[in-house]
Amino acid sequence: VQPPEKPLESEEWNRLRENFRLPEIFEEVMLNSMIRSNSPIDVAKSLLTHVAKRNGDVAYSVLVKYLTLCVQQGQVSEIRDVYDIMKVRFKILEIGAYNLFIKGLSNSDQWRMALTLLEEAKKIMIPSRTSYESCIKAASCHQEMKLAFELYHEMLAKDVVPTLDVLQSFFDFSRGMKDAELQKELFGILLYLRENQIYPHKTFMRSIKLWFESISGSKWRGHLTNIKDSGQCPVCNHQLEDSNLTEEEYNNLSERIIRDVIHGTDTFRKTSPQEFEAFQTFVENRLPFDIVIDGLNVSHIKPKKLHCENLLDAINCLAKDNVRLLVLGRKHMLMNSSNWKREIMKEMQTKADFFFAENISEDDAFLLYATLRSGKHCKFVTRDFLRDHKACLSDSLTRHLFRKWQRGHQIVLKTMFFSVFSQQPAFQYDCVVQTTGDTWHIPYKDVFEEKYSYQVPRKWLCIQQK
Amino acid sequence: MQSATLLLKKIVRSSVLPVAAQHGMKRDLFPLSRTLSLSLCVKQDNSCKPSEKLDLDAWKKVMKSGLQEEVSETVSEPQELSSLAAARETLEMWRLAGRLVPENVSDEQLKTFMECPSKSAKKKYLKYLYLKELYKKNDKRKMEEKRERRLEAQEQTSKTDETKKSPFLCLWASTMDKAYNWRAAQSMIFGQPLVFDMSYEKDMSVREVANTVKQLVQSEGCNRKAVDPFHIHFCNFKDDSLYHREFLKHYKEAWGKLLITVTEQCYTEVFPKDKLVYLTADSPKVMKTFDHDKIYIVGSMVDKSIKRGVSLARAKRLGLETAALPLDKYLLWNTGAKNLTLDQMMQILLTLKDTADWKKALEFVPKRKYCGFVAKPVSELKKTLDLVNTLKLGKRREEVQKQFAKNYPKK
């Protein structure tokens, strides 16, 4: 349906309605298309007038649609009118209408009313994050930073996750303000980014930089840079935090891996108690390893080569300087077959320790266990992202730990054209927002959206105090 | 024109707003009366200005004038809204806003709704109730139509009034039931056992248990009507478990008279271990033929969130033989998980038992899950699959190949 360009008389609306296929929903369809094509508000008004004259009442859904149109065009006085009407016409409003009111009013000089509406909405349900965001933006826009932060903390307390947009607005609006309390809150946001391993995007990073540079007296300077593989910042020569977990975190993680990933609800699902015990004694007797290899995963790197040759290449590539290797595989690898030649298997077994799991067991869980058990220096080799194992961990904190540990300890083998393998080494440094008090290092994304969770940004913002 | 509207607006505001404000404070007193007839004022509107220029804010006047009437009608019965009533109100508003919300909600459903942990869980539950209501309504309407047609037909036959004579006796449903029960009773003495493992209650949600029981009821029905039924065993069945309660809901007093064996014992206690075969889609072994001497076990589990290896773990723990249906060998798999519903399993096993014909048995796999039977060499079928997919889904060739490789891993 094409909405008309000018307000129509009742008769004209009637005619349109009768020509419509389903006259019962004519108004809703028409209003929807008005919202889509952003029609002038008078046209919608004339439709409502027509409806009111015909039925003596305007249905709630139609009013909400009209409200959507008003909000879209920022017609504040109309929004107020609709609110007055709805408030007396209906006993309570539903959360969708509240969201619209809040969104519509927060951009105007009536923004305080949006705050009271937010309070009202809380009585029914937890308001959406967009409602919180509009209120926070409205408050910080009017220099009421304290109020904005109150709302922000309330939001976090209710497990409503703020978008980067609202976090950015905090930095934008407090630029140039002198307030120790405010500074603390903003540092708090940066620490929130750190704890949740969130990376700001480019424009957000710019806001952070500008805010730092606007603090008078302390003379912060920001530089964009790339961090070297060694983890040293080229601007301030500061060494970034290394990717090792603390003793406590490390123990916590290995405990949780054994409990949640290997055992889970039923040990038999991934292995069997006998097999796991056998594996444990095997590992304990031969500790510690330097590199643990997922044999089956590595053996599929080059599809044109035999599986065992792939594995042999990988072992030869990694077995330098007396490192102790452990290769995990399954029993079927021992059967002489076209892909697994017995002689080559024998040769490999002289160079590395092998553990063969049952054919129906999951070897990845063993991989994690052996690596963690060998200690912090031990790395593992697989192309698998281990997402399903991460998903077995029950809380987000442990999942973050796992991610961090994985970044620091996973080696990925890549095939090149001529050389046998190239290693993509594990990260030496930890890729999170970090501070030493007089410096801040903030990794940021070039693009707005982060495509893969395993990818970490390589670009950094270095901020230091002169 | 504009100034006139403005003036009008002002008048309306000033006359109504005090009332509105006053009212806004005690809106809890307001009853649920939205469908008030306002025909009187509408008529007035129409009569006073039929030829005047368009008044864009007229609808506001109408809405507000309606409110004045309401206010005068109902300023009484002050009461605190209980949380239940408040939830009911919210639902009503959602319905008015055009969301998928059922018209009638029982108190019990309302409580379940309030106990939903998240917004999306609430929405899902409401949609479920809404669809349920819709289906019920449609069924009712169809029944009514059918009855009318029958009545019409009866009238016509009574007019023609022709006594029919048939050489056969009319077989009533109760007679059929007797025959079926006779067969089922025989199977309980001589029939091949088929075990349903009822130990998965902990792995399922309440909805999934309900679905499981529904599927079990259906499989029991198929079995009873078969020429040569299985002797069904429900093993690991705890009295007063969720399963039990759901069964009672379905069967009512017939539960006690079913011709099946229900036991708290495990199948390993009832049957010799070497004869048991656990059927599970995760099994690495593929079933080649149906063995009349073996006792097959089917896990009574509906697994909507694909928990891999739950039933395989159970078989592993007890050291039982496992088997999977040879779906890949006989069917060109298209989409969907390879775990089938319990009644489909039942149909397949019954057919296998009678005919030993895989093709006939696997007819019971849902048609949407496969493209065809493997009669020709796989490479030829692959071409057909490619064609079907590119025509139907517009999928790219590589994707299809990838899926093919997934379904038919190189050995």
Residue A172 distance to chain B (closest CA, Å): 32
Q: Looking at the structure, tell me whether residues B280 and B389 fall in a common domain.
A: no
Render A404-416 in DSSP notation, one character per residue.
HHHHHHEEEEEE-
Among A407, A423, A439, the domain boundary falls at A423
Q: Looking at the structure, tell me whether residues B360 and B224 fall in a common domain.
A: yes
CATH code where residue A388 lies: 3.40.50.11980
Q: Looking at the structure, tell me whether residues A302 and A450 fall in a common domain.
A: no
SS3 A356: strand
CA distances from A428 to A231, A408, B308 (A): 6, 6, 36
Number of structural domains in chain B: 3
Tell me the per-residue pLDDT of B8-37, one tens digit each, with 9 for 90 and over: 455 444 444 444 444 444 444 444 444 444
Q: What is the pLDDT of residue A356?
A: 92
Q: Looking at the structure, tell me whether residues B364 and B396 fall in a common domain.
A: no
Closest CA to B81 of B32, B132, B127: B32
CATH code where residue B257 lies: 3.40.1280.30
The minimal CB distance from B56 to the residues A46, A60, A359 is found for A46
| Residue B286 contacts A where some CB pair is shorter than 8 Å | no
* Contact in structure between B258 and B234 (CB atoms under 8 Å): no
| Residue A60 contacts B where some CB pair is shorter than 8 Å | yes
CB contact under 8 A, A268 and B46: no
CB contact under 8 A, A61 and B90: no
The minimal CB distance from A58 to the residues B59, B89, B93 is found for B59
Q: What is the pLDDT of residue A442?
A: 93
Tell me the per-residue pLDDT of A124-174, one tens digit each, with 9 for 90 and over: 888 999 999 999 999 998 988 999 999 999 999 998 999 999 999 999 998
The Cβ of residue B371 has, within 10 Å, a number of other Cβ atoms equal to 19
Q: What is the pLDDT of residue A89?
A: 84
Task: Identify whether B296 is part of a domain.
Answer: yes
Report the distance separating Cα A380 and Cα A423, nearest Å. 12
Contacts of B56 in chain A (CB under 8 A): 7, 42, 45-46, 49
Q: Looking at the structure, tell me whether residues A366 and A228 fall in a common domain.
A: no
Q: Looking at the structure, tell me whether residues A329 and A316 fall in a common domain.
A: yes
Report the distance separating Cα A449 and Cα A459, nearest Å. 15
Q: What is the pLDDT of residue A418?
A: 47
Which residues span the domain enclosing B291?
191-371
Tell me the per-residue pLDDT of A4-46, one tens digit each, with 9 for 90 and over: 888 888 888 888 888 888 878 888 899 999 999 988 888 888 8
In percent, the amount of chain A with pLDDT more than 90 equals 27
* Per-state percent for chain B, helix, strand, coil, to nearest 5: 60, 10, 30
Task: At B261, list the tokens.
Answer: 């064996």
Q: Using pLDDT thresholds of 50, 70 and 90, give the confidence band for residue A241.
A: confident
The gap between the terminal CA atoms of chain A, to the nearest Å, is: 63
Interface test with A, best of B17, B122, B202, B316 (most A CBs within 10 A): B316
Of B125-134, B181-190, B256-265, B390-399, least confident by mean pLDDT is B390-399
Task: Identify whether A137 is part of a domain.
Answer: no
Q: Looking at the structure, tell me whether residues B221 and B362 fall in a common domain.
A: yes
Contacts of A289 (CB under 8 A, 6+ apart): A324, A325, A326, A353, A370, A371, A374, A378
| Residue B7 contacts A where some CB pair is shorter than 8 Å | no
Length of chain B: 411
Q: Looking at the structure, tell me whether residues B100 and B237 fall in a common domain.
A: no
Q: Using pLDDT thresholds of 50, 70 and 90, give the confidence band for residue B164.
A: low
DSSP 8-state secondary structure symbol assigned to residue A369: H
Interface test with A, best of B60, B73, B80, B116 (most A CBs within 10 A): B60
DSSP H or E stretch at residue A59 = none
Q: Looking at the structure, tell me whether residues B285 and B306 fall in a common domain.
A: yes
Quickly list H helices, B294-396. Answer: 310-318, 327-330, 342-355, 358-361, 378-392
Report the distance separating Cα A233 and Cα A462, nearest Å. 8
Q: Looking at the structure, tell me whether residues A402 and A340 fall in a common domain.
A: yes
Q: Using pLDDT thresholds of 50, 70 and 90, give the confidence band for residue A328.
A: very high
Residue of B nearest to A84 (CA): B20
CB contact under 8 A, A87 and B17: no
CB contact under 8 A, B90 and A92: yes
Task: Identify whether A51 is part of a domain.
Answer: no
Report the distance separating Cα B233 and Cα B191, nearest Å. 11
Contacts of A81 in chain B (CB under 8 A): 60
Number of structural domains in chain A: 2
Q: Looking at the structure, tell me whether residues A299 and A369 fall in a common domain.
A: yes
Q: Which of A70-84, A404-418, B34-48 has the highest mean pLDDT?
A: A70-84
Place of tokens 């849902």: B366
Q: Looking at the structure, tell me whether residues B383 and B352 fall in a common domain.
A: no
Report the distance separating Cα A215 and Cα A296, nearest Å. 55
Higher per-residue pLDDT: A322 or A432: A432
Q: Looking at the structure, tell me whether residues B219 and B364 fall in a common domain.
A: yes
Q: What is the pLDDT of residue B76?
A: 43
Task: At B302, list the tokens.
Answer: 């509906």
Q: What is the pLDDT of residue B74?
A: 44
pLDDT at B317 over 70: yes
Task: Identify whether B346 is part of a domain.
Answer: yes
| Residue A270 contacts B where some CB pair is shorter than 8 Å | yes
Q: Looking at the structure, tell me whether residues A439 and A415 fall in a common domain.
A: no
Q: Looking at the structure, tell me whether residues A373 and A229 fall in a common domain.
A: no
Query: In whole angstroms, how large is the CA radius of gyration of chain A?
Result: 31
Contacts of B293 (CB under 8 A, 6+ apart): B275
pLDDT at A426 over 60: yes
Would you put residue A78 in left (φ > 0), alpha (ψ -120 to 50) or beta?
A: alpha
Question: What is the predicted ipTM?
Answer: 0.80
Q: What is the mean pLDDT of residues A435-451?
A: 82
Residue A348 distance to chain B (closest CA, Å): 24
Q: What is the pLDDT of residue B277?
A: 94
CB contact under 8 A, A268 and B314: yes
Task: Identify whether B235 is part of a domain.
Answer: yes
Q: Looking at the structure, tell me whether residues B213 and B267 fall in a common domain.
A: yes
Q: What is the mean pLDDT of residues A332-347?
A: 87
Tell me the per-residue pLDDT of B34-86, one tens digit each, with 9 for 90 and over: 444 444 444 444 433 334 456 777 777 777 776 555 444 444 444 555 788 88
pLDDT at A307 over 60: yes
> A236-239: long-range contacts at Cβ-Cβ below 8 A with a sequence spacing of 24 or more?
A236/A439, A236/A462, A236/A464, A238/A436, A238/A439, A238/A441, A238/A462, A238/A464, A239/A429
Q: What is the mean pLDDT of residues B78-103?
A: 81
| Residue A231 contacts B where some CB pair is shorter than 8 Å | no
Task: Identify whether A347 is part of a domain.
Answer: yes
Q: What is the mean pLDDT of residues B194-207?
A: 91
Contacts of A4 in chain B (CB under 8 A): none
* Contact in structure between A314 and A348 (CB atoms under 8 Å): no
Q: Using pLDDT thresholds of 50, 70 and 90, give the confidence band for residue B406.
A: low
Q: What is the mean pLDDT of residues A287-306?
A: 86
Q: Looking at the structure, tell me whether residues A227 and A299 fall in a common domain.
A: no
pLDDT at A267 over 90: no
Q: Looking at the structure, tell me whether residues B295 and B225 fall in a common domain.
A: yes
CATH code where residue A444 lies: 1.25.40.10
Q: What is the pLDDT of residue B163?
A: 60
Q: Looking at the structure, tell me whether residues B206 and B261 fall in a common domain.
A: yes
Closest CA to B197 of B243, B269, B266: B266
CB contact under 8 A, B97 and A269: no
pLDDT at B372 over 80: yes
* Contact in structure between B332 and B374 (CB atoms under 8 Å): yes
Q: Looking at the structure, tell me whether residues B388 and B285 fall in a common domain.
A: no
Q: Looking at the structure, tell me whether residues A272 and A204 fall in a common domain.
A: no
Closest CA to A101 of A73, A76, A138: A76
Q: Which residues pair with A422 in a beta bridge?
A: A414
Which residues span the domain enclosing A313?
247-423
Average pLDDT of chain B to the nearest whole number: 79
Average pLDDT of chain A to the nearest whole number: 87
Contacts of A90 in chain B (CB under 8 A): 34, 93, 96
Q: What is the pLDDT of residue B399?
A: 61
Q: Looking at the structure, tell me whether residues A459 and A373 fall in a common domain.
A: no
Q: What is the pLDDT of residue B376?
A: 60
Q: What is the mean pLDDT of residues A43-66?
A: 87
- Which 177-236 residues of chain B touch chain A by CB within 8 A? 203
Output the pTM of the full model. 0.77
Task: Identify whether B168 is part of a domain.
Answer: no
Higher per-residue pLDDT: B39 or B285: B285
E-strand stretches of B241-399? 261-262, 276-279, 295-299, 321-323, 331-333, 370-373
Q: Which residues pair with A292 in a beta bridge?
A: A326, A380
Report the distance separating Cα A461 and Cα A441, nearest Å. 6
Q: What is the pLDDT of residue B24?
A: 43
Q: What is the pLDDT of residue B246?
A: 92
| Residue B57 contacts A where some CB pair is shorter than 8 Å | yes
Residue of A nearest to B12 (CA): A81
In percent, the amount of chain B with pLDDT more than 90 equals 42
